[in-house]
Structure 1
Amino acid sequence: MLGSAVPATLSVKLCLFQRLPTNAHFEFSGVEATKPPARRRRHHNHHHQHQNHHLHIRYHHKLNNLKSLFGRAVIARATNDGGGGVGSFSQQPTSPDVEEVNISSSSLGDGYVSLFVRMLGLDNDPLDREQAIVALWKYSLGGKKYIDAIMQFPGSINLTVNLLRSESTSTCEAAAGLLRSISMVNLYKDLVAESGAIEEITGLLNRPSLISEVKEQSLCTLWNLSVDEKLRVKIANIDILPILVKSLDDEDIKVKEAAGGVLSNLALSQVNHKIMVEEGVIPKLVKFLKNDDEGSKVIRKVARNALLELSKDDYYRILIIEEGLLPVPLIGAAAYKSFRPGLHSWPRLPDGTEIERTSKTPSRFGASELLLGLNVDDKIVNIDEVKMNAIVGRTQQQFLARIGAIETEDGKKESELLSGQQLTLLPWVDGVARLVLILELQDESALSRAAESIADASINEDMRFAFKEAGAVKHLVRLLEYNNHAVKLSAIRPLERLSVSNGVCQAIEAEGVMDPLIDTLRCPDISDNLMEKTLDILARILDPSKEMRSKFYDGPVNGSNKGLDEARNSNRPRENNGDMTEIDIPKTNTRKSVLDSAVIACLVEILKTSAPNLQRKAASILEFIAITDPTMDMVISVAIESALDTVFQQKVLKDTDSDLEGKEPEKYALEVEEAGLAISAASRLLTKLLDSEQFCRNINSRHFMKLLRDILKSSIPLNCKDWVAACLVKLGSLSGPKPNLKESINVEVTLYETIPRLIRQLKTSSSLQAKEAAVVELNRIISEGVIDSTRAVASEGGISPLVKLIEEGSDRAVEAGLAILYNLSMDSENHLEIVAAGAVPVLRRIVLSQRPQWTRALHLLRTLPT
């Protein structure tokens, strides 16, 4: 089976454009692949000198006949024996005025072929060997039966491979060309590979200043061999791959095509993907598809095939998208017949934004409706690059759909050209517009595939905003109301990926996504996957902290360019330009559907029965409901206390050492982190519920304090303990006049949350001021006599960052650090760690320089072992 999508046979007219010299004098020896011993060789040369004249006479007549036959124009059919080599892509030069002649192998005679094979012998003159290999190369161009005639002589391949080491350019070209012809026949591929051709070609391609013709023939040989799956691993090595990648920049298009063909075949074996990507093949291949003026149709085709194979890996697909190409499903040109472009009396942007009319009087000839730019005031509407790309892409793709030219190439259906391929690759502008165009069709299968492709492509802020500007959001929200479960599931996945961006999340809400999501959540037979995605979107839209963050942060996530839809004018309240204040009213209306007893009961049930990641999202939505409903009656009335009790008693935190045996450490750490996030969200919800007097009267505060104190001492991530500590402190304050209990809670919060957080700040913060603030706070805690506070500092690994800060910090930080270090030195178990952290030379420098803290440093030195 061919590694590249080419016809099984390829008819090519070829001519023998190099005649043999009329005065050619051929000397030959046997066909041994290695040189004979020295003594035998001298005898052979002596005998050869005596027989030289006789051999000339003996073969002169035959060679004249052969030259006259080769002197005529030879037109041959290049076939590949039903499994031909992809090297046949590079056609030999043809002559239109040459008469077509059918040649059989018997017409030349086996004697002539054997003559040239003998002339390849190592003992022959280099010029004779060159003439022989050139003649055999031209002869092999006739097709399989001519190649068979050559291959009937044992050793012909080995002698040909040996000629790849020749210093003669024409010899190397002919040898590589003959190997190319032989490797086109499936029967001989293994023989070529076993003869060491791959290694010799690698050495040949590593030569400096190699001419394009030699490169082409050598690479085409590798192209033919790479069709065989077992040979691909042998070809894909660290020696040949850099040559292939470098050849993609060659000036000769034939060299580019051959290198691309080899890479396309190598990509068919997944085992080669890693080494190919590491050699930087993706950017090189992408450039042929991004720019229409780059390369030929062949190189574009092989580049596309290679990248499509690499895109089957999720990570490599992201790299391809980041380079500017999108995988787009091929759905067939017939599916686009259902496309009906919207006919508007006034132009709109792809996302549905209407352009305000600056002229009340219509143009006499309708130009104001057709030429958008004539009636757009730059001071009112700023068409940025993302919007311009959306307009250009939509225009191009709708035009192709209208004329029936979409998914076609040279008059052929692209889906036919890429037999078995279900995807193609398009530049960002065209790919985004094509995917949005498919969302407007009626084919349910096409809708699902386009939605899945949008989800896969939404990898960064630029892509998410590109889809938003192209109008994908409104179509995806519409698909949520489909009766087809598969379509609905396919539509919710890209919405979940797009909602990662705050600005796009607002646009999703403005399109009316809340009602379909709530309806989905109410369904009794909802699948786990659909429920997870639904909760993801709802949790991001209803995130209680989002509105507070928006007051301090005026840009989207991931460092993208600032602002969402800055072009839209604030005097158009119907538009959503990313400003939180502009959609407050529609938010109030759309979010009322969440305040439903059935929805709240569903969320509480999720807290009781679902996995930690779903519990976290459900708790966040319930917190929003609690904030929205001042009385909290709806939340309190659904037995929220028992649901919180379930979340706080995560199974993974109760596992003993015997339970952990056989568990993967990475998987266990992930489970603990997910449990910690769910507990943190539930603690935040409980903290909010404690504002209700009715809830406080009914809650078993002692039970929850015990649960939270145990969690505070557990191994959940430190960032998850913030709300646990806050909730525990609030529960303690509501428990009544019990000073011992309050003191115990405060100590535990200090030991298990405050001190670890300050130590982490010392270790990881890049700000010297933040580190100094942390060490001052630590000194305050220790100086207040908190039990086991110094032990907590040592156990959290605080000694080393303390010593470093003493060496670099200000006088204030040095004073606090020395105080903490002195308290740590009171425990002899800490002495070795203090010394190992390099404290002794730091303290000596402070004493010798007589800094203000030198007396404390001296006392510390006397305490430490020296």
Structure 2
Amino acid sequence: MLALSSLILPLPLPLPPLPPSKPFFLTPPHSPHLRLRRPPDVPLLRRRRRLLAGATADDGGGAGSSPQDIEQLSRTVTSGEAYIGLFVRMLGLDNDPLDREHAIITLWQYSQGGRKCIDDIMQFPGCINLVTSLLKSESCSTCEAAAGLLRNVTSVKLYRDAVAESGAIEEISSLLCQSSIAPEVKEQGLFALWNLSVDEKLRPKIVESDLLPKLVRFLDDEEIKVKEAAGGILANLALSHANHGIMVEVGVIPKLADLLKGKQEGYKVIRKEAKTALLELCKDEYYRILIIEEGLVRVPVVGSAAYKAFKPSTHSWPSLPDGTEIQRNSRPSRYGASELLVGLNIEEKNLKLEEAKMNAIVGRSQQQFLVRIGAIEMEDGEKIQNESPQKEQYTLLPWIDGVARLVLILGLEDTSAIIRAAYSVADASVNEHMRNSFKEAGAVRQLVQLLHHDRLTVREAVAHALDKLSISNIVCRTIEAEGALEPLINILKDPSTPVALLEKTIDILSRIFDTGNGLKRMFDDKVVNGTEGKVNSANSSDDAGGFLQTLLKQEPMTRMEIIGFGIISRLIDLLRKASPSVQTKVASFLEYLANFEPHTTSMTAAGIESGLDAVFQKGVLNVEEDDTENQPEPTIVEIEEIGLATSAAARLLTKLLNFDQFNRTIDPAKYVIQLRKILKSDIPLRTKDWVAACLVKLESKFGSALNNVNFTVDKEVIIYETIPRLIEQIRTSFSYESKRAAVLELKRIISGGSMEFAKAVANAGGIFHLVKLIEEGKGDVIESSLAILYNLSMDAENHPAIISAGAVPVLKRIILSEGPQWTRALHLLRTLPI
């Protein structure tokens, strides 16, 4: 080990002046405050004299130095940086633990003097290694002083790498993970890690130290400083996107959300750090949903200038979201205080309001009150400032205030603020509670009005918000009631509308026109509005049928003027030219319109055949034809999208086949050939069901006209859709009854005697699953599986697959047991080459 005495520099004379007796205690560089702390009260005088006696002997003072000389030297050593080397030397492992404790405490005290004092300590190579080694000490004072010195040293950016290389992160983490640790040591260690976590390249070391679960528990610590340090570390770790996953796994979101929503005094710093961490996690869509589930909403900071255009009435009185005013019994406050007390007013009048309406009123009045007094976008008395005009800054608010703030911003004149608020509304609409909260707060009416905005970017943001809100049946009905159909249709008519806006528009219209949603609304109304305590099971089917018939008869009459020939032509044009994802939505919307004969007539006149042909041509994947050899092979995502588009188009064609005017204009053989190719293609199996159904309906409608087609539709459907679907059902189903039904149906098909059916079972990988069913099943399941395998064994090419699937030992066990199926098992075993 290198002698530390070689690190000690010659003592310059005269000695420098004394540092302050109560210096500032350094805090992390990002912390906005400083704290005064008196050095620990320890009996130093006796130790200093004993240490200095040895020091003066080394310096030529000799053992016989007088007590007056020692006393004088004691006063000077504690005050001058010239003696720093002496105390660094006393940190050596060969010194007495009491001497090392005295030395580290003295250096800690000295480091509190500021940057110059820290530089004096760090001029000695190896000093930090000795300090880090003291973190293992059994003395609480020694550990506190060592961690405190590291805290002060790491407040200087220049020295953080040296501290990290000394192994301080690992030692502090190990110290903090101890079951019993003094609060003082815990505080100093956490603040040291807080300083180190500022450096991005050091954050992985902190995460890898398994300290994260402990940091989350420290958020519940009784000491406010421990909370602040733990929150600060987590906030810095959240700045690195790679840490987000493990932070969420250890449960950091609920803890930080509780701290942010708390109103305790003295929690200003921890709330700030919690907000910093959560805002970073909000950048991930999934984690943003988790934060919203905890009752927080991300709201854009738009600047005080944007609110100058907001001019609430001088004297206002609270009203319900539908515009109904509450009966007033006193003069309203000019600052909106009467709205803040609306709850008391309502209780006095014995009005029964839903909690969502009450929250909407209170949240709106609070935000308008803040605007009136000029305190909007202020936290703890300080305005939130953007670092630059181009930077998009956000804050987090409790959901009641957050919903009201977003609705308030939607009513401003600043277009950039409106756009950001609309996207935030979409992000926050993650569940029925939030969507209903926005409805009650009046967001739907403002968003529908903004659909008429002259700026395209505003319309895109608003459509995105309405798309998320319309997932709720109740909110979707409100969107229609607010008059959204007309602007949405205008957007759809405009040939210059971007594809992204078209998708959102079609989504909203599909939900508004969806008869399934309309049927669901009826049951929601009966339960929610209280017209019936519950739906009568005896009459529910009649009510549902009557409602659906009324819906089918009345809605087309009221919407006929909106959905005209021009809209249908536009939709068919999109069906021909758009991407598969848009084609899926357009085909689904047209499928709904095909319920009504006038719309079907318009589709036929507008050339719906060309749109269907465009979709079906994309659905022919990996079919052996000359014209597909030079085409690039589609990706998995593209195959999925093409399959969904093909399925939607097949549903549309199936619906159109119900109308004679459409049937008279088409060539059925062309569609049969196209759908047969799609059935044999590589699109996902679950998207082939409607293709098969459409083929069957084409054959039933045009059987005589398909004589020139050189294949049987039923046979093609069984080979390429039914058999693969049944095998998939046997493979993936968790229900024994479901597997039983599939294998019985498969036996019925194979019993037809067609070798092509047996070959289709083998090609679909059914042999392995049938053997497994024999091993696990009973009764008719075993018998059906044995019958299918016996048919497959007639083809010698299937023998290796049957043997490799483990059929031989299973068959032997059935034969030896002499059960009901032993003879069938014996026949199958005799066909195998064993």
TM over 0.5: yes
CA distance in 2, matches of 1:421, 1:288: 24
Q: Label 1:640 to 1:607 Cα distance change in 2 as closer, same or farther (>3 A).
A: same
Match of 2:106 in 1: 135
Change (3 A) 1:57 1:113: farther
1:573-607: CA deviation from partner (whole Å, max 9, x where unpaired): xxxxxx99599599556633442121111111111
Q: Secondary structure at the match of 1:371?
A: helix
Trace 1:635-784 onto structure 2 (pairs within 5 A).
635-650=603-618, 653=621, 668-737=635-704, 741=709, 744-784=712-752
Select the residue among 451, 456, 459 that pairs with 2:430: 459
The 8 Å contact of residues 238 and 280 in structure 2, kept in 1 or not, is answered as yes
Contact 2:814/2:822 (<8 A) preserved: yes
Q: What corresponds to 1:568 in structure 2?
A: 529
Structure 1 contact 512–590 (Cα < 8 Å) conserved: no
Asked if structure 2 preserves the Cα contact closer than 8 Å seen for 1:847 and 1:854, the reply is: yes
Per mean C-alpha deviation after superposition, the further-off stretch among 209-218 and 769-778 is 769-778
| Residues 369, 56 of structure 1: alpha-carbon distance in 2 compared, 3 angstrom cutoff | closer
The equivalent residue for 1:62 is 72
1:830 to 776, 791, 798: 798
Question: 2:479 aligns to what?
Answer: 508
Which residue in the other structure is 1:327 paired with?
298
Q: CA 1:399–1:802 in structure 2 vs 1: closer, same or farther (change >3 Å)?
A: farther
- The equivalent residue for 1:18 is 41
Determine helix, strand or coil for the equivalent of 1:426.
strand
TM-score, normalising length from structure 1? 0.80
Aligned to 1:446: 417
Query: Aligned ranges for residues 475-486 of structure 1 at < 5 Å?
Result: 475-486=446-457
Which of 148, 159, 166 pairs up with 1:188?
159
**Maintained 8 Å contact 2:623/2:677:** no
2:468 maps to amino acid: R
- Preserved contact between residue 684 and residue 723 of structure 1 (Cα < 8 Å): yes
Q: Cα deviation per residue 1:512-569 (whole Å; 9 max; x = unaligned)?
A: 2211110101112111211121122222333465557778xx6xxxxxxxx4795435
CA contact (8 A) 1:847 1:858 kept: yes
Of the structure 1 ranges 754-763 and 805-814, higher mean CA displacement relative to structure 2 is found in 805-814
**Structure 1: stretches of 5+ with no match in the other structure:** 31-43, 71-107, 555-562, 572-578
Q: State the Cα deviation string for residues 144-181 of structure 1 (Å, max 9, x = none).
A: 23333333444443332332222211111112112222
Query: Structure 2 vs 1, CA of residues 841 and 498 (structure 1 numbering), >3 Å: closer, same or farther?
Result: farther
**Map of 1:788 onto structure 2:** 756
Instruction: Indicate how the Cα distance of structure 1 residues 831 and 505 shifts in structure 2: closer, same or farther if over 3 A, else same.
Output: farther
1:371 to 336, 345, 350: 345
Listed one character per residue, the Cα deviations across residues 801-854 of structure 1 (whole Å, up to 9, x for unaligned) are 334444555634444333223222222332333344444454455555554444
Aligned-residue identity in percent: 53
Secondary structure of the residue aligned to 1:424 is strand
Q: Distance in 1 between matches of 2:694 and 2:624?
A: 27
1:613-665, CA deviations, whole angstroms, 9 ceiling, x for partnerless residues?
1112112222222222347221111122122111111177268799899979x
Contact 1:683–1:723 (Cα < 8 Å) also in 2:
yes
Superposed CA offset, 1:771-790 (max 9, x none) = 22222222222223345111
Q: Name 1:575's counterpart in structure 2.
A: none
When structure 1 is superposed on structure 2, of 440-449 and 463-472 the one drifting more is: 463-472
Equivalence for 1:523: 494
Q: Residue 283 of structure 2 aligns to a residue in which SS?
A: coil
Q: Which residue of 2 aligns with 1:89?
A: none
Q: Deviations over 1:308-330 (max 9, x none)?
A: 12222333323333343222111
Cα shift at 1:57: 4.7
Deviation of 1:497 after TM superposition, in Å, equals: 2.0
Question: CA 1:461 to 1:789, structure 2 compared with 1: closer, same or farther past 3 Å?
Answer: farther
Residue in 2 that maps onto 1:414:
384
Shift of the 26–311 alpha-carbon distance from structure 1 to 2, 3 Å rule, reads farther
User: What residue is the counterpart of 1:246 in the other structure?
Assistant: 217
Aligned to 1:649, what secondary structure does the other structure show?
helix
Give the C-alpha shift of residue 301 in structure 1: 0.8
Residues 235-281 of structure 1 show CA distances to partners (whole Å, capped at 9, x for unaligned) of 33233434433332322221121122122222223343344334433
**Would the alpha carbon gap of residues 544 and 855 (structure 1) be closer, same or farther in structure 2, given more than 3 Å must change?**
farther
Q: Which is further off, 796-805 or 594-603?
A: 796-805
1:205 is aligned, of 166, 176, 200, to 176
- Distance in 1, matches of 2:643 and 2:800, equals 34
Q: How does 1:275-290 map to 2 (within 5 A)?
A: 275-290=246-261
Q: Are residues 1:404 and 2:365 paired? A: no
| The 10-residue stretch of structure 1 (187-196 or 712-721) with the greater mean CA deviation from structure 2 | 187-196
1:534-545 equivalences under 5 Å are: 534-543=505-514
1:24 partner amino acid:
R
Cα deviation code 1:658-682 (max 9, x no counterpart): 9899979xx7121112111111111
- 3-state SS of paired residue (1:541): helix
Counterpart in 2 of 1:296? 267
Partner in structure 1 of residue 7 of structure 2: none
Determine if contact 1:461/1:501 at 8 Å carries over to the other structure: yes
Distance 2:563 2:631 in 1: 45
The Cα of 1:376 is off from its aligned counterpart by: 5.5
User: How far apart in 2 are the matches of 1:353 and 1:858?
Assistant: 81
Report if aligned partners of 1:120, 1:129 keep a CA contact under 8 Å in 2.
Answer: yes
1:156-195 alignment, distance < 5 Å = 156-195=127-166
Deviations 1:72-109 (A, max 9, x none): xxxxxxxxxxxxxxxxxxxxxxxxxxxxxxxxxxxx33
Counterpart amino acid of residue 372 in structure 1: I
Which is worse superposed, 430-439 or 851-860? Answer: 851-860
**Cα distance in 1 between the residues matched to 2:744 and 2:295:** 50
* 1:432–1:467 CA contact under 8 A, matched in 2: yes
